[in-house]
Amino acid sequence: MAADGTVIDPYHVVELSDWVNVLAVTSEQEVVLVREYRHGTAEITLELPSGTVEAGEAPLATAQRELQEETGYGGGVWRMTASFAANPARQNNIVSTYLAIGVTALGPPRPEAGEIIEVVRMTLLALLAGLADGSLRFQGQHMAALLGYLLPGLAQPEEVIEAATRSWLSLPDPPGTAAG
């Protein structure tokens, strides 16, 4: 039932465990990423290390465990940068995003059964440039993780907004979308 008393029937909610994403940065200023096959889109995707929060496990402990399992990296200084609903229209879970600064290789990755993961390192600038020009794709929650990381650096948000607007307006309209 909606807040105003309207009955929404039937309505289905997907109940999922909470999960975490990790933006891990080495002392060389490289981001530690994973390349992994995903059934939903039937493609190999470039992603942040991430995983499901196990029953009784704190999200930070999950983030640290997942980073080490998927990449072999750990240590560093950890901060939560964001916590948000994954898809409040259909899902009941929360995503917590962590920044890990100064991570180092502690050993080989230990992926779970069925996970085939390639560890990829690239500079944050290369990642952002690839996302901006479309040569790299990220899933939405991982884009939100990047935004959470960048937000404190937006000391002059009006300048950033103006620069972003100028950049978008300088691009050609995609075919079939030109304003008339």
DSSP string, 74-127: E-SEEEEEEEEES-TTTB--EEEEEEEEEEEE-S---PPTT--EEEEEEEHHHH
* Furthest C-alpha separation in the chain: 58
Architecture of domain 19-170: Alpha-Beta Complex (3.90)
pTM: 0.83
Beta bridge partners of 96: 20, 83
Phi, psi of 142 (to 5 degrees): -80, -30
For 31-71, how does the pLDDT look when each residue is reduced to its tens digit (9 = 90+)?
A: 999 998 888 888 888 999 999 999 999 999 999 999 999 99
- pLDDT tens digit sequence for 102-147: 999 999 999 888 888 899 999 999 999 999 888 998 888 888 888 8
Nearest to 44 by CA among 32, 34, 36: 36
32/28 Cα distance (integer angstroms):
11
